[in-house]
Amino acid sequence: MTGRLYESTSAKALSEAIEWALHLSTEEREKIGAAGIKNVKEHFTKQIMCDKTIEVYKELINL
């Protein structure tokens, strides 16, 4: 788990997500933080982002 999703148009959902985060233990926060860092390092490298950008350009050219 790298965090919590909520409906972006709902103030109540945001409030609940904030409450959830505020009640996490230090261990839970550290675990979620480490998972988030791992996720970014695995899925958002410069090479991956460049490859995905090129894919988008190729799709646009073929429209």
Query: Any idea which residue has 């410069």 for tokens?
Result: 46
Per-residue tens of pLDDT for the chain, all 63 residues: 889 999 999 999 999 999 999 999 999 999 999 999 999 999 999 999 999 999 999 999 997
Kindly report whether the global pTM for this prediction surpasses the value 0.95. Answer: no
- Measured CA distances, 56 to 19, 48, 61, 63 (Å): 38, 12, 9, 11
Domain boundaries, the chain: 11-61
pLDDT at position 1, please? 85
Burial class (CB in 10 A: 0-12, 13-18, 19+), 32: middle
